[in-house]
Amino acid sequence: MTTQNAMLHCAPGRTDIALAANSGAYNAGIAAGAALGGLILSLADVRAAILAGGLLTVVACTVLLVGGCMRRLAVR
């Protein structure tokens, strides 16, 4: 919901295209995660796949936090 809301604010006149882009990005993320998980499982074991997922989660959270902090600083 949050990403859809942000997309609608970015393109207020073209909500249909904004929501289609959001849906496409969401599905691409699912496909990329499945492909990466399959690749890791073929090269290593389940533990490596879990560690890679955890690492990607930490990286994503860091990007979100840094982006939020930078946005707050830009407003001031």
Domains in the chain: how many in total? 1
| Residues spanned by the domain of 21 | 2-75
Q: What is the DSSP string of the chain?
A: -HHHHHHHHH-TT-HHHHHHHHHHHHHHHHHHHHHHHHHHHHHS-HHHHHHHHHHHHHHHHHHHHHHHHHHHHHH-
Cα separation of 9 and 65, whole Å?
20
In terms of pLDDT, which residue wins out, 37 or 9?
A: 37
pLDDT > 90? residue 73? no
State the pLDDT confidence band at 63, using cuts at 50, 70 and 90. Answer: very high
Average pLDDT over every residue of 47-58: 94
Kindly compute the dihedral angle of the four CA atoms of residues 11, 16, 21, 26, in this order, to the nearest 10 degrees. Answer: 120
pLDDT bracket for residue 1 (50, 70, 90): low
